Amino acid sequence: MARKSINRRQLLAGLAGTLAMPSLNRLSFASLPDRPVLPIPPIRDASSGRIHLRIQEGAWSFDGKRRTPTWGFSQDYLGPVLRVRRGSELSIRYENAVSEPVAVHGHGLHVVGELDGGPQRAIAPGDSWEPVLPIVQEAATVWYHSHTHMKTGPQVYKGLAGVIIIDDDNSDSLPLPRRYGVDDIPFVVQDKDFNRDGTLSYNKLGLGRFYAAYVMVNGAIRPRVKVPRGLVRLRILNGSNGRFFNFVFTDGRPFHVVASDGGFLDEPVEVTSLFTNPGERYEILVDFSDGLATTMRSIPADRTPENYQLFDPIQGEQTIGYFEVDRNLSADSEARIPSHLNEIARLDIADAEVTRHFLMETGQPMTINGKAMDMDRIDERVKRGTVEIWELEGDLHNFHAHGCSFQVLAVNGKPPPLHMRGWKDTVITDEKSSFIVRFDYTAPDEFPFMYHCHLLEHEDMGMMGQFVVEE
Ligand code: C2O
Ligand code: CU
Ligand code: CU
């Protein structure tokens, strides 16, 4: 079958076309007189035994007013935050109470293929899956989400995603804000569209790249975020289907990035903007000791050194949330910005024995190295414990690999910015990026790991491959 390949100019022209379309069918939240307050998901501690997560239908209000059908894990929308300690086990019982198969993957977890929750682990309606996940990795913010074959996009969109917090001795010893929901806040940023009747709409735009009109955090459109007069830690997850966000505060206040996908950075990195793409996590510290309110927005990313102005016409500027200092919340007087956070062991290019190349191409289907995802084909065979370099090439994509954290060597042909020099598992690939990695967990042919574009519609349309890790 002849593949239809599309170059960047055609792609952008196509996107511009979709933008020009009048959005007749969209619900207007124009007035939004009462801004919803940021919802804080309930937290479940793994130390109190098996966590039961029921994949279920629900109804949720994104604007604080009308409700629309959604899905969630034991709740109406999204799932609880799961908290687990390094050296212990995260034991879960996923029960599928919806009418289609669902696979649930632990994104960023260092576990073997059998426990990874890829598409091979689809749970049939009425069935359940009970993985016991040994947590061997360092403190990090990771997440769980639907990974169902060709349905990840719509299922995550409906609500099948949640945050996992891993603690360890190092995270305990750091003087960081740690009061869950008060000054240590999970911050899941997504975008959605709505039909006139207020129900969720999921229409893929220009070549499967999904952008929607309403940006939300933890399921609330442009929420009010009440914070104490002090240091606040946001565990940001770009949980959107396909949108890139470039976060800033409108008063220009700087903030510190302290962690990326796989754990703490060596040292905090001060920034005034933070570019993120789907699947990525960053923990940031924002200082509110001035007592002043501010607004978080996402702005066109042309100010970043990586030069993402290509995205401007399709990203636009968005309000993420309104931060207000609440004098009823006490500040943590112990919390401060540590000068040192972690000792990251650097993987050495000189030790790399294998280099692999992944070419991501937009088209029908979406491909990697000319192939669309096939669950019956293993694309790469990796030897456990071997240091490898993975070179990525593609326009307007990102790349995520299961079963590892990696270290980024290049982002779009340039050395990674400081906040991308810690452990990562997802990286933007617009032009050429690369990372160094060692796979320490095995994955057999029956339960291989995945690598894919984390723009979920691209993944569903074929931009994914499978690899095994063998002894
Ligand atoms: Cu976040 Cu293969 O996924
Ligand atoms: Cu993953
Ligand atoms: Cu992509």
Ligand 1 site, residue 279, Cβ cutoff 6 A: yes
Q: What is the pLDDT of residues 355-390, one digit of tens each?
A: 999 999 998 899 999 999 999 999 999 999 999 999
Query: What is the residue with the minimal CA distance to atom 1 of ligand 1?
Result: 107
Ligand 1 site, residue 400, Cβ cutoff 6 A: yes
Ligand 1 site, residue 297, Cβ cutoff 6 A: no
Ligand nearest to the CA of 368: 3
Q: What is the pLDDT of residues 39-80, one digit of tens each?
A: 999 999 999 999 999 999 999 999 988 899 999 999 999 999
Question: Ligand 2 mean position to 281 CA, how many Å?
Answer: 12
Question: Ligand 2 mean position to 336 CA, how many Å?
Answer: 32
Query: What is the residue with the minimal CA distance to atom 3 of ligand 1?
Result: 107
pTM for the model stands at: 0.93
Question: Ligand 1 mean position to 30 CA, how many Å?
Answer: 34
Pair 300, 309: CB distance under 8 Å = yes
User: Coil, helix or strand for 70?
Assistant: strand
The structure tokens listed for 64 are 């604080």
Q: What is the pLDDT of residues 393-408, one digit of tens each?
A: 998 899 999 999 999 9
Gyration radius from the chain CA atoms: 21
Q: What is the pLDDT of residues 89-132, one digit of tens each?
A: 999 999 999 999 999 999 999 999 999 999 999 999 999 999 99
pLDDT at 6 over 50: no
Work out the widest C-alpha separation in the chain, in whole angstroms: 64
Q: Which residue has the higher pLDDT, 317 or 11?
A: 317
333-349 mean pLDDT: 97
User: Coil, helix or strand for 363?
Assistant: strand
Q: Which residues contact 196 (CB under 8 A, 6 or more apart)?
A: 25, 26, 27
The CA-based angle 460-455-414, given to 5 degrees, is 135
Which letter does DSSP use for residue 78 in this model? Answer: B
Ligand 1 site, residue 235, Cβ cutoff 6 A: no
d(CA 315, CA 211): 8
Ligand 1 site, residue 237, Cβ cutoff 6 A: no
Question: Per-residue confidence at 208, pLDDT binned at 50, 70, 90?
Answer: low
Q: Minimum mean pLDDT among 82-86, 315-319, 327-331: which range? A: 315-319
Q: Which atom of ligand 1 is nearest to the CA of 450?
A: 2
Q: Tell me what pLDDT residue 412 has.
A: 86
Q: Tell me what pLDDT residue 34 has.
A: 67
